[in-house]
Amino acid sequence: MKPADIRTRAVHAGREDLADLGVHAAPIDLSTTYPSRDSRAEALRLDGFGSGEWDGGLPVYGRVSNPTVERFERALADLEGLPAAVSFASGMAAISAALLAVLSGGRRHVVAIRPLYGTTDHLLGSGLLGTEVSWADPEGVRRALRPDTGLVFVETPANPTLAEVDLADIAAQAGDVPLLVDNTFATPVLQQPARQGAAMVLHSATKFLGGHGDVMGGVIACGDEQAALLRRIRFATGGVLHPLAGYLLLRGLSTLPLRIGAASATAAVLADRLREHPGVRAVHYPGHQQGRPSDQMASGGALVAFEVDGDPHRVISAVRLITPAVSLGSVDTLIQHPASISHQIVDPEQRRACGISDRLLRLSVGLEAPDDLWSDLDQALDQALDQAGNAAAG
C-alpha cells in the first residue's frame, strides 16, 4: 500500500528494498564500471541504453546508470506524482537536456514566461543550444505558440520575485505542447505541477532537495517516454549525477517536508514584519499577491523578496546572523541581491520589465528562530535607512 502523506513517502521512497537487503541506510555505489563475462549480452544492453531504454538489470557503466542515483530518481518521481525522473550534474544541465530534447524532436521554438532564474533566461535568450524563445505573459501563451513550438517553460513561484502563475491555465493554453515547470522554490511538498497538467517538473536539486548547501544536482520528473529521451541525451552528453550526490539528495528528501514546513512558517512571520518596517518599500510573498491561484501551493514557501528604501548592498553587508551568499534552500538563511548576482546576466531593461528592481533583495529562510532572524534583519535595514537619511540630509 502506497502511503498518502508526503511526510511518510519522503522517508520511505527509494528505500523500499532496504529491509530485504538487510541494511538500514541506502548503500553508496561508487563504481564507474561493472564487470560482466557475457560481452554479447552487454553489447545488446548497451544498444538499448543508447536509445534511452533501461531494463532495470545490473549496471554496466557509470555514465549509463548508477544504483544509488536511481534510488533518488525513483523517490523524486514518487513525490512529484510522475512515472519517472532523470537526474543530472546540476539544474542547468537538466535544463540543457530538456532543450536538447526539444531539438531532437525536430522543433526549436520555446515559449517562456519571465521571470526565470537568470542563467535559464540567458540560455533561452542567447540561443546557445539552437533553440528560439518567445517571451509571453501568462495570459498570452496560446498566442505565442507556433507549429514548431516544442516546449512551454515556466517557473512558479518565480525567481526572484516569487510571482505565481496559474499552472492549470498555462497547461490548458499549451494544449499538446509539453509544459515544463521549474518547481525548485515550491518543492513537491507545497506544489505538484503534474496535478495541474505539467508534463515535466524540474528541480535544481542543489537547493531544497539537498537542503544543506553541500551537494549539487538537477532532476526532471516526467513520463516514461520523455525519461527515455532524457536518459539518451544524458548518456551522450555525460552530464551525470555523482553517486555521492545521489545519496545526499535521497537523504535530503527524507527531511524535506519538515524543513519546508518550518522554514515556510518562519518566512511568513518575516514577510509580515518586513511590511511594517519603514525601510521596506514592498514585500513579495506567495499568498499575499493579487490574482494568485488559491489552491496551487499549500503555503507561501520559504523565500521572501522585498524592496528597500536604502542601499540594498548596505543591508547585505550589515547582516551578521544571516549568510550573505548566492543560492537558496539551505538550513541557514541566505540573502542576496538578484540584480547584481543571480540575474546580473539578464539585460537590465528586461530585468526591470519583469519586476526585478535594483532595490530587490531575496531572502531564503532557513531553520533559525524567527526572532533571531528578525533581530538581524531589523538592524541591517535600520543601518541602510540611516545611511539613506544621512545622504539625503548631506
Residues recognised as catalytic: 63, 117, 182, 207
Taking CB atoms within 8 Å and a gap of at least 24, the contacts of 237-240 are 237/96, 237/97, 237/100, 238/63, 239/88, 239/89, 239/90, 239/93, 239/94, 239/96, 239/97, 240/62, 240/63, 240/66, 240/69, 240/87, 240/88, 240/89
Asked if 288 contacts 218 with a C-beta cutoff of 8 angstroms, the reply is no
Q: Give the HSE-up count for residue 214: Cα atoms under 13 Å, Cβ half-sphere.
A: 8
Residue 360, CA distances (Å) to 107, 338, 375 in order: 37, 7, 20
CA distances 240 to 10, 130, 141, 310, 393, Å, are 23, 22, 32, 44, 56
Going by the DSSP 8-state scheme, the letter that residue 166 receives in this structure is: -
Give the chain's radius of gyration (CA, Å): 22
DSSP code for 89: S
CA nearest to 73, candidates 292, 230, 274, 303: 230
The residue whose grid cell reads 529521451 is 229
Burial letters 103-116, b for 16+ CB under 10 A, else e: eeeebbbbbbbbbb
